[in-house]
Chain A
Amino acid sequence: DSGVTQTPKHLITATGQRVTLRCSPRSGDLSVYWYQQSLDQGLQFLIQYYNGEERAKGNILERFSAQQFPDLHSELNLSSLELGDSALYFCASSVAGEEGKLFFGSGTQLSVL
């Protein structure tokens, strides 16, 4: 168990809908990262937050947004969903100063039908 908690584990929704994925980092970790994993694209970095502020942005679509709250949990919002958004979404956290040492949650499997 990595200590990173993600909910829900599975999400099935329809095209055009909006969903929210939730992540609680390990106790004490200030950084939260969101990744998308699909068969054709592999593991792709979406966005990083550090102590409530956006720190780095990757290949995140404009339809997607994220935030980190004062209690350090984070939410990833996906809107106007398309079939191609079906993927595994991972949250990870890291210790300050050791950003390469990521601790991943078990992921949310999103299926857009």
Chain B
Amino acid sequence: QKEVEQDPGPLSVPEGAIVSLNCTYSNSAFQYFMWYRQYSRKGPELLMYTYSSGNKEDGRFTAQVDKSSKYISLFIRDSQPSDSATYLCAMSLSGSARQLTFGSGTQLTVLP
């Protein structure tokens, strides 16, 4: 079993839809939770960064962390064709060696 499991997709939605992307994890020591967006043939770029449990909102994006359930989510409101990309969840342990553990990614297509 992988440490981080991510819904594989692919996911296709119409423009304007609300998108929900999810990851579960097994290591309760994870403290930092991130979402990265990766366009085709590009490097991942950081979208959201949260520490411990709770919600964080940034424009059309909302990240949720539920440490009791070991479950994190990314919601995209009013989705746009430009949101079409692969979304990777990532998480890391507290401490100095903070290499990230990434999910396998969900490929999202927003249809105009």
Interface residues of A (CB under 8 A from B): 2, 4, 33, 42-45, 48, 55-56, 58, 90, 92, 99-107, 109
Contact = CB atoms under 8 A, between A and B. Distances in A.
Contact of A58 (B34, B49, B90, B99): B99
Interface of B: 32, 34, 36, 41-46, 49, 88, 90, 92, 96-105
A42 B103 contact: yes
B97 A104 contact: no
Contacts, number: 56
Contacts of B98: 56, 99-100
B100 A102 contact: yes
Instruction: Decide if the interface of chain A is mainly helix, strand, loop or mixed.
Output: strand
B103 to A, nearest CB: 7
Nearest to A109: B41
A43 B102 contact: yes
A43 B46 contact: no
B30 to A, nearest CB: 11
Contacts of A43: 44, 88, 102, 105
A100 B92 contact: yes
Contact of A103 (B46, B88, B90, B102): B46
Nearest to A94: B98
Given A100-B34, A100-B49, A101-B49, A90 B100 contact: no
B99 A45 contact: yes
Contact of A105 (B43, B88, B90, B97): B43
B97 A56 contact: yes
A44 B43 CA distance: 13
